Amino acid sequence: MKQYQHYINGAWTDPDSGEWFDTENPYTGEVWAKIARGNAADMDRAVAAAKQAFEGGWGTSLPSYRGKLLCRLADIIDREADRLGRLEVQDNGKLLAEMGGQTKYIGEWYRYFGGLADKIEGTVIPTDKPNMFNFTRYEPFGVVGLITPWNSPLLLVAYKLAPALAAGNTAVIKPSEFTSASTLEFMELIAEAGFPDGVVNVVTGFGAEAGGPLVDHPDVAKIAFTGSDLSGQKIYEKGAKKLIPVTLELGGKSPNIVFDDADKEAAVMGAISGIFAATGQTCIAGSRLLVQKSIHDEFVARLIEVAKTAKIGDPMSLDTHVGPVTTPPQFKKVMDYLDIAKAEGANCVLGGGAYTGEGAKGSQFVEPTIFTGVSNDMRIAQEEVFGPVLSVIPFEDEADALRIGNDINFGLAAGVWTSDMGRAIRMSERLRAGTVWVNTYRVVSYMTPFGGYKRSGLGRENGQQAIMAYLQQKSVWIATETSAANPFVMK
């Protein structure tokens, strides 16, 4: 059986604990590899290596050199994308049809931020002070800690690592304990691309044991985290104690809003894509489907009809539509929410339980589920399920849709389906979410800012501005003529 060590200072190394834990294939339930159980001592070693690499030259390296390495890495990723995609599926159970496409796309993050590395320019200030030359420059923080969840491991590493390295930081990554393998295999690509030892390190393990010491470490100057809002809150508190910047990409409960003037067939497909793609295990899931009352019944009937055609089964098969839930605790959480919704009086019109039919293996399949008659104050409408469970909420008119759409603690994304362009613009202005899609759903790109309002996070990833989250600005004053003016007053 494969046994994965930590990756520290360019070398594979055993965990201080001498302990390993299992990683399972969510489809078969079989243990297929052992992962090193990291602790504070491992983190100390990794952060020391990253600090040494930063101070030993990476932090002051030429941006164009970093850019070239990132572009070389992108080419290697392109070459290895199929293998990495299969590895993701083996470890997280999401569809090869999706993960394969995702790993093929990941190189673009490194290419984009590699291209950006030497385009970050300071400014010369036309200062009001006589005999002074004043300019600004951008500098990296030093060692950054990157903590990722299990649902899209390599993609979410790319969101963080590409801008972090382009900006001249070194990194210690703590991947999810459920899906560490692909991030570890990725280190072979980092080495092949020629990054100096210690620039990128990976320590695996559990949140409190390995992630906690990374956040607490005095030499970690910034944290970028993707995960649940509750973990994000704890990490933010710790970051506040150290007074370091923290970027948080957290959960969502996004409204996907269908008006009666929409292209109904496209909207049905958008609703399906919003909740059943990736088995609903995506932060941007359109888990609250708001449907205008005038079309509610006909729309839900068609939705059920299409949802019923979903082929459930082996995520490695390219014709599978819905795969297993990734982890046993997540499976239990989804099952609990099915009970909660039923107890709250929601009307289950599709699915509603574990799936054990044709194509199922292991014990982590959930039936694609639709609840109607949901009111927005129910727990099933307010809390993130992170599974293939859709709550359908009726609304009267635009004002009602806006009120319900925004009546939520989260604000990651929203969808609007309408043929009225004025309405599309009004809704996109008024929905309190970091991303609004109109007549489409679940589109992301390396060049488009992504992040949350409200409890969905702090800061943005992707797009040109994202690199600024990994840089700090310095002002430099140079006297062009020395002076012996009164030293007891400010210049």
Q: Is 451 exposed, middle or buried (0-12, 13-18, 19+ CB in 10 A)?
A: buried
Least gap, CB of 154 to ligand NAD (angstroms): 12
Task: Tell me: does residue 212 bind ligand NAD (CB under 6 A).
Answer: yes
Q: Using CB under 6 A, pick the residue from 66, 111, 160, 174 that binds ligand NAD.
A: 174
Alpha carbon 212 to its chain centroid, in Å, reads 19
438 closest CA partner among 263, 279, 316, 320:
263
**Contact 80/100 with Cβ under 8 angstroms?**
no
227 closest CA partner among 369, 365, 330:
330
Task: Tell me: does residue 333 bind ligand NAD (CB under 6 A).
Answer: no
Single out the segment in contact with ligand NAD by CB under 6 A; choices: 41-49, 60-68, 211-219, 310-318. 211-219
Cβ-based nearer residue to ligand NAD, 214 or 303: 214
**Contact 167/199 with Cβ under 8 angstroms?**
no
* Alpha-carbon gap, residue 1 to 164, rounded angstroms: 34
Q: Using CB under 6 A, pick the residue from 9, 23, 102, 226 that binds ligand NAD.
A: 226
Distance separating the N- and C-terminal Cα atoms of the chain: 68
Least gap, CB of 463 to ligand NAD (angstroms): 14
Cβ-based nearer residue to ligand NAD, 80 or 249: 249
185 in catalytic set? no
Pairing of strands 20-24, 31-36: antiparallel
Task: Tell me: does residue 228 bind ligand NAD (CB under 6 A).
Answer: yes
249 in catalytic set? yes
Contacts of 237 (CB under 8 A, 6+ apart): none
Phi, psi of 56, rounded to the nearest 5 degrees: -85, 5
Cβ-based nearer residue to ligand NAD, 165 or 433: 433
* Alpha-carbon gap, residue 401 to 182, rounded angstroms: 41
Single out the segment in contact with ligand NAD by CB under 6 A; choices: 22-30, 91-99, 227-235, 465-473. 227-235
Choosing from 80, 88, 283, 384, which is the catalytic residue? 283
Task: Tell me: does residue 207 bind ligand NAD (CB under 6 A).
Answer: yes
Single out the segment in contact with ligand NAD by CB under 6 A; choices: 42-50, 113-121, 229-237, 331-339. 229-237
Q: Using CB under 6 A, pick the residue from 251, 323, 394, 411 that binds ligand NAD.
A: 251
Cβ-based nearer residue to ligand NAD, 19 or 55: 19
* Alpha-carbon gap, residue 126 to 124, rounded angstroms: 6
Phi, psi of 479, rounded to the nearest 5 degrees: -75, 130
- For residues 121, 126, 131, 137, the Cα torsion angle rounded to the nearest 10 degrees is -20
Locate tokens 């809002």: which residue? 229
Task: Tell me: does residue 382 bind ligand NAD (CB under 6 A).
Answer: no
Q: Using CB under 6 A, pick the residue from 161, 166, 203, 235 that binds ligand NAD.
A: 235
**Contact 54/143 with Cβ under 8 angstroms?**
yes
Cβ-based nearer residue to ligand NAD, 93 or 313: 93
Q: How many residues of this chain interact with ligand NAD, rule: CB under 6 A?
A: 32
Cβ-based nearer residue to ligand NAD, 45 or 296: 45
Q: Using CB under 6 A, pick the residue from 8, 116, 147, 200 that binds ligand NAD.
A: 147
Q: By CB under 6 A, name the binding residues for ligand NAD.
A: 147-151, 156, 174-177, 206-208, 211-212, 215, 226-228, 231, 234-235, 249-252, 283, 384, 386, 412, 452, 457
Catalytic residues: 249, 283
